[in-house]
Amino acid sequence: MQRADLTTRTIAGLVDLLLIIGLARLPDVFGFLSAAGYILLRDGLLDGRSIGKKFIGLRVMLSENPTHSVTYRESIIRNVPFVISFFLFLIPYAGWIFGPLILGIEFLTALGDNAGMRIGDMLARTYVILQNSASRSTKHRAEQQSDTAQASIIVPRDSQQ
C-alpha cells in the first residue's frame, strides 16, 4: 500500500472544501451544523473515504490495523483541528487570523513529517493511502511480464527450399 502524497491529499481536500462551502450555504443553523458534521464525519462515511478522497482515489487507514479503514470515532479525532478552524472563522478578526493559522500548522506538520502525517493523523493514529496503488502496481507488473514473454518468443526463420 502506497501512502498518498501531500499534493493528492490537498486536491481531495479541495473537493471536500467545495462540498463544505455548499453545505454552509444552507439556511440558518442547519447549514452550519451540516458543514461541521461533514467535516467531522467525512472520513468515516464511505469506508474510510470522504467524497473528495473517493473521487481522487484515497483511503484513510488505521496505523495499528492497516487492513481496516477508519470508523466515525477516528474520523472525528483526526478532523477536530479542521472543525476548530471552521468554528474560529465565525469570530471576526481574531478568528480570521487563528483559523488559517491552525490550517497552516496542519499543512506544515504534514509537509515536515516523513510519513506525511498531519496533527489529526497523529492524534487518531491514521494515515492516507492511494486506494488503487496496489491494483495499479499489480496491473503494471502483469503488463511487463506479458511484454517480456512476448519478446522472448523465438520465431523460426523460414527454411530455405
SS3 annotation, the chain: CCECCHHHHHHHHHHHHHHHHHHHCCCHHHHHHHHHHHHHHHHHHCCCCCHHHHHHCEEEEECCCCCCECCHHHHHHHHHHHHHHHHHCCCCCHHHHHHHHHHHHHHHHHHHCCCCCCHHHHHHCEEEEECCHHHHHHHHHHHHHHHHHHHCCCCCCCCCC
Res 114: pLDDT: 82
Please report the pLDDT score of residue 31 as a whole number: 92
Residue with cell 483511503: 59
Dump pLDDT digits (tens) for 144-159: 555 544 444 555 555 5
Which pLDDT band holds residue 48 (cuts at 50, 70, 90)? confident
The pTM is what? 0.76
Mean pLDDT of the chain: 83
List, in sequence order, every residue forming a beta bridge with 3; answer none if it has no partner: 129
Distance CA 68, CA 70 (A): 7
Q: What is the pLDDT of residue 156?
A: 52
Q: What is the structure's pLDDT at 141? A: 47
Domain assignments of the chain as residue spans, ordered by start: 6-142
| Per-residue model confidence as pLDDT tens digits over 5-42 | 888 999 999 999 999 999 999 998 999 999 999 999 99
